[in-house]
Amino acid sequence: MNTFRQKLRGSFLLQTLLLTFLVLALFGPLLNLLIWTVAESWFFPHTLPSQWGLKYWSQVFSPYSDVSGSLSVSVLIAVLAVLVCLIISVPAGYALAQRGMPCRAFFMLLFLIPQAFPNLTVYMNVARLFYQWGLNGTVAGVVLVHSVHGLMYSIWISVAAFSSLDPMLARASRNLGAGPVYTFFHIILPQAAPGLIAASIFVFLESLDEFTATFFVGAPDITTLPILLYTASMSGNYQVSSITALILLVPSVLFMLVIHKFMRPEMLSKLGK
């Protein structure tokens, strides 16, 4: 009996240690980030800030700050990237969802190619080409490179969304006399809308957090929040960089909750098929 209790106690202690380590690994960096956002003075060897306050919050959101402008540019680029990806991924996803399409597997893998190479090498060569075409340092150039990066998410999720639909509804619409265009926009597209919304959110978040492509293609004329965060952290202004990181974190958490609602299990089972 005592041996059983000792084993049970040892198992409980091990589980507690593992859970504590997991919590620290997940929320430790976030806690450090939150402390930096309200730390006005924090130097080694102090464990906690010697002076607390919201001075840097007022600086970040002041009319003379670069954060509001960078946030507007980031949101604009992300929205435009979503529109470009949807224009391509909706017809492409519907076509690739048809199992009888020739070379279907090849086209599916084609959209994974941008993820198969190191981003640094790819964006350096893209920046050289865009410089020759007059797209370097422009919003259009940044939107294009963000869209190419986001097409992988939008295409694969769109294919899964269209593949999870009930084909009998489209057949019933055609049998009742509806044309293919009417059937697509009134029967097929509304059913696939949750998956397309999820794909749009993934592209939006990917574009909002993208740093490398913006740095090589857009800098110094285009300044987004990730660029501003990098500049602040490199200059040692950890308060401003932490507040900027927190601003980037909020939409990611909120949109992930939305994605959890729209990503149905039957749609997830179609990813990659």
Average pLDDT by consecutive 10-residue portion of the chain (273 residues)? 59 76 77 83 78 81 79 91 93 83 76 75 85 88 90 87 81 79 84 86 90 86 88 82 86 75 55 51
- Both tokens of 5, joined, read 């209790």
Q: What is the pLDDT of residue 8?
A: 57
Q: What is the pLDDT of residue 142?
A: 92
Handedness of CA 121, 124, 128, 133 (dihedral sign): positive
Model confidence pTM above 0.85: no
Q: What is the pLDDT of residue 60?
A: 80
- Both tokens of 6, joined, read 């000792």
Residue 149 CA to residue 141 CA, distance in Å, equals: 13
Q: What is the pLDDT of residue 125?
A: 85
Identify whether the C-beta of residue 34 lies closer than 8 Å to the C-beta of residue 246: yes
258 CA to centre of own chain: 13
What's the full length of the chain, in residues?
273
DSSP letter at 187? I
Helix (H) or strand (E) segment spanning residue 60: helix 55-60
Q: What is the pLDDT of residue 65?
A: 75
Residue 227 CA to residue 92 CA, distance in Å, equals: 32
- What dihedral do alpha carbons 41, 72, 225, 51 form, nearest 10°? 10
DSSP letter at 266? H
Identify whether the C-beta of residue 203 lies closer than 8 Å to the C-beta of residue 145: no
- Locus of tokens 């865009």: 130
Dihedrals φ, ψ of 104, to 5°?
A: -60, -45
Nearest to 108 by CA among 167, 146, 147, 160: 160
Identify whether the C-beta of residue 186 lies closer than 8 Å to the C-beta of residue 140: no
